[in-house]
Each structure stands twice: as structure tokens, then as C-alpha cells.
Amino acid sequence: MDPLTLGVMWRGMVALTNDAGTVLRRTAYSEAVREGRDFSVGLFDRHERMIVQGDFSPGHLGSMPSAVTNFLRYYDAEELRPGDCLILNDPWMGSGHLPDFFMLSPCFVDGTIAGYAVNCTHMIDVGGAAPGSQQVEGINDQFQEGLRLWPTRVWSEGQPNKEILRIIEANVRVPDKLLGDLMAMRNCNRIVEQRLAHLIGKYGMDRYDEACAEILDRSEEAMRAAISEMPDGTYHAVDYFDDYGPGTEPLRIEVTVTVDGSSVTIDFTGSSPQTRSGINAVLTYVRAFCYYTVKCITSGGTIPQNGGCLRPINFVAEPGSVVNAQPPAGSGARAIMQQRFVDVLMQAFSEVLPDRVIAPSSHWANPNLGGFDPRTGRRFVHYDIIIGGFGGRPDSDGMEAAPSAFNIDAIPVEVNENSYPVRVERLELIPDSAGAGRNRGGHGVRKDVTVLGESMTFSNLTDRQRFAPPGILGGEAGAVGRTVLNADGADPVVLGSKGTYQLGHGDVVTTWLSGGGGYGHPFDREVERVSADVVAGLLSVRKAATSYGVVLDSAGVVDPAATRDLRAARRRAER
């Protein structure tokens, strides 16, 4: 196919998924979607192959193909009609946990299915034991976590299935937002269908089929070429989750990466067994973030996001392990796990590709708060996202308050305060929290929230409060985080990183997120950059001396002679 036509068609496909995602975001009811962008959009061809995924959450990159396979296992293509919308949220069919709803719509052109529009959207509540449906402790199986749907037709030829929608409405805490988001998902898929029909109308079905096949083959070829540039070998790393609930042991995540010619095998043998809690990952979810990591370190963003670029990447994960949990394990809280999969892979790849990896990043927090809003007398579920920062990078420091493993946004303070009975007292970077290095990690974040509802249940969901994000290539670890109830009061209470608690009106929840790990030896950092962090209030004079070997006064002015002597003495001691 001539490159110009192929390029125009490819960009048209990317644009239609991104435009559809914009419609989903702008018409959604929940803050998680409208502000946090916790969704993704994909286009599949009529052969069930993922042709393009929009520039949204990478956590669905490996999950969408599984969802489409399961949709079309229950509904044969011949029985689908224009205007149909199917949904599912079963973890083992693609969603990974019950709050993620997938929707598939057939795209008809001249009475024939030309492809499928698919989107995945995080619902802020699907019932279950606690508001937000992401409780960790006390969960023995998925049946305690909320409403579970196998592939189900919720719109038939454009008409809603009112019986199914009533069942959903009766089983969730905030049905208006869930049903509103379902309608936004339908809007999204409709845009995909309209834009695809326009594209095919312009170029023809045969040319479209040819473009799809060539896009997939070229993507695979580009990924294999990028992998071939890596030295063959086996690379290994181990990292840990703090626990899987109050009083539980750490969870081990072990990975062995084997590069063999133009393919990569990622082997999680040695990881902990699955747990009797909400902390478990199904393989489709783990694969998604492995695909994302490999794509980051190989392509620099130049290889398309589709099924072709996934073909050279293979997986080994023992069934029944925490990275390949088997039914009926709980998995509601698995969202918090993805950062560790990226961290451990980056550590493994640092052995062979030091100029393409980043140090382990600051963890994030996904607290869920539910109860009654005294302003309205109605039940509410407050889904929040608190984001730390990147680990140190080969050419720069870690970004601040930005997610390194997923492409969603922190929900603005003003939106949360307007929508829920909460008041944000502070939101700030934490001095001295960044892991020291030639390029330091991003700083951790502190957020204090006063809760003003009634009969409130709080599900904490975060990590890196026991095991700090390690530095790489000589860098230092970032500071660990913590969660404290009424931290500035007379009787502060330390909360577990994963736990469910009852809160009273006026309680203050303070979240400290860990800092990102450092990249490279701290003594290789220019003294001017150390001084700039001191002047900015991000680094203390004491830590500048102990971690960087830089001697400054309280104004951030460097003492060159003392710095030279201190660094020389410390390097001699390290030898």
C-alpha cells in the first residue's frame, strides 16, 4: 500500500478513537471519567484484531483483545445489529476488576460489520462490601466485591434493555453516575462507528482491510526490530508490595526477562501466591502494563498502539500466583498494583538499557470514601486520585505530581469540594522525599482532606509505606509514604496503606506519598542543581550534604572547597 494513503488512513483511525474518547469524557457523569480520564477507547477490525487504541489509559492495552474475544464468544457476529451495545465487567474476561466496564458496539457499513468500537470505563462504585468496590481486607472472593456481568446486551438496535438497567441500578450505591457513564460509553462508540463509516466511505472496504493488515504487520515488524537492538540475555529483578491488608505479609513480585532475538519473554515465576483479599491481579491486567513498559523502552512512542506490537511479547505466570490469580479470587483493589509491575520491569531492564529506563516511581493513592452527604441527604461515593511523581530519568529529574504508569489525571480540588462533602486543607510537595541521584526522583505529595459527611466508610488504597521506591544505577531510594488520621490532632492514628475504616464528621485524612527513586550516583549531580532545590525549599541543607555531598549555607550558597573535600572523602569511603 502506498505510504501516503496508509499514513492518512492510520491518522484517521487514531483521530477517531481520540475524538470518541473526548466525547466520552465530556458526557460522563462521574468525576473519575470526566476529570480523572480513567478510561480507554479502541477500534477493532471485523477479524477481531485491535487496530488502534486511543491515547488514554495504557492499563487497557492488553485487556481489550481479551474482552472482545469474550464478547464474540457469547454473541455471534451474525446476531448483532446496528445500535447494539454489549457490556461486561468480569475480571477474567478482560476487565481485571469489577469497576472496569467494557462496552462493545458493532460498526456497520452498508449492512455489513466493518469492525467493533470498544471502550473501557472505570465506574466509581459497583456495589460490594465497601463504597468504591475496592476493599482489600475481608474479601475472600469476587462475589463480595460487587455486581458481576458476563457479556450482556444493554442496548438492542438502539433501544435500552430496561430490565438489565434496572438490575444494575438496584445493585450499586450511586446509580445515576453509573448509568450516566454507560450512556457516555454508548456516545463514545457511536462516534467511532460514524467516523469509521466516513473513512470507509472515502477509501472503500477493500482498501480499509488492506490498511488494517498492513498496520498490524508493520507494527509487529517495528517492535521486533526494536527488540532486536537489545543484547540477548536474561535479566532479573525483585520488588515488593507492603502487604495485602492490615497485619499481612509483604507480597513478592519477581520477574525474569529473556531477550532472544526479536522477542521478549517476561516470566513472573517466584512471585507470591494469590491472596484471600482484594489484592490480586489477573493475567490480562499484568500483561497490559508489561506491554506498556516494553513499548516505552523500545519505541520512544513511535510504534502504534495495536495488536501487532504485542505479538513479540510472551508471558509466563504461574496460575494461582498474585500476578495470575484464578477464580473466584477477589481483585477489586488491583488498580493499585500496576505501578509495581512497571517498577520491577524497569529495574530488570536497567541492566541492559540504562539509557532508556526510569527509576521506580512514587506510588499513588486511590482512596474511596462513601457515606451520606448532609447537604443533599443522599448517598455519595468519593473516588479520589493522589499522584506522586516519576523516578529519576536518564536525562532529567522525575516529573512532579504526574503518573508514570498510567495516563490519568488527579481530580481538581475545586471539583471534589463542589461534588462531595470534603474540604482539601493542603496539597503540596514533600521536601526531602525525592530519592537522591544524578537525576533525582519526583517528590512525594502530601494531601490533607477534612471529611464532612455522615456514616462514612473510608477504603485506603496505596503502597510504598514500607518498601521505599529504590534508586537505580547508584541512585538512592525515595522516602516512604504514610497515611494518618487527624495527624495534627491530639491523638493521631496511623492507618494501614490498605484498609477500611469508619470516619466521623470532621475527621482529617492525611496522605503522604512516597518519593521517586534516584537515577545515577548523587555525587554526579551538578552542585548548581542541588543548590536550586535548596533555594526552592525542596531539599534541606542537611540532606544536600548527606546525600549529595554538597555543602551550602541556609541561603543555598555553595561552599566549593568544602563540597570538593566532602565528595572526595565520601568517594574514598565508598571504595
Return the domain boundaries, the chain.
Answer: 3-221, 358-525, 537-574
Torsion from C-alpha of 494, 499, 502, 508, nearest 10 degrees: 40
Cis before 328 (ω within 30): yes
Widest CA span in the chain: 80
Select from 55, 53, 29 the least CA-distant residue to 184.
29
Contact predicate 339/285, CB 8 Å: no
> What is the structure's pLDDT at 554?
84
Which cell is 110 given? 452498508
Select from 151, 136, 26, 53 the least CA-distant residue to 95.
151
> What is the structure's pLDDT at 406?
80
What are 483-530's pLDDT values in tens digits? 999 999 999 999 999 999 999 999 999 999 999 999 999 999 999 999
Please spell the DSSP secondary structure of 364-390, one letter per residue. -B--EEEEEETTTTEEEEEE--B--BP
> What is the structure's pLDDT at 503?
97
Select from 324, 100, 365 the least CA-distant residue to 242.
365
Angstrom distance (rounded) from CA 372 to CA 252: 38
Contact predicate 482/447, CB 8 Å: no
CB neighbours (10 Å) of residue 536? 11
> What is the structure's pLDDT at 177?
97
Strands (E), 30-73: 39-45, 50-53
Q: Which residues contact 536 (CB under 8 A, 6 or more apart)?
A: none
What are 98-157's pLDDT values in tens digits? 999 999 999 999 999 999 999 999 999 999 999 999 999 999 999 999 999 999 999 999
> What is the structure's pLDDT at 303?
82
Select from 236, 238, 231 the least CA-distant residue to 253.
238
pLDDT tens by residue, the chain, 575 residues: 899 999 999 999 999 999 999 999 999 999 999 999 999 999 999 999 999 998 887 777 678 999 999 999 999 999 999 999 999 999 999 999 999 999 999 999 999 999 999 999 999 999 999 999 999 999 999 999 999 999 999 999 999 999 999 999 999 999 999 999 999 999 999 999 999 999 999 999 999 999 999 999 999 999 999 999 999 999 999 999 999 999 999 999 999 999 999 999 999 999 999 999 999 999 999 998 998 899 889 876 678 888 998 899 999 999 999 999 999 999 999 989 999 999 999 999 998 999 999 999 999 999 999 999 999 999 999 999 999 989 999 999 999 988 888 878 889 999 999 999 999 999 999 999 999 999 999 999 999 999 999 999 999 999 999 999 999 999 999 999 999 999 999 999 999 999 999 999 999 999 999 999 999 999 999 999 999 999 999 999 999 999 999 999 988 899 999 999 999 999 888 87
Alpha-carbon 52 to chain mean position: 19
Alpha-carbon 256 to chain mean position: 22
Q: Three-class SS of residue 116?
A: strand
Select from 335, 333, 433, 447 the least CA-distant residue to 391.
433
Which cell is 380 given? 455519595
Amino acid (one-letter) located at 450? T
**Torsion 139-144-149-155 (CA) sign:** negative
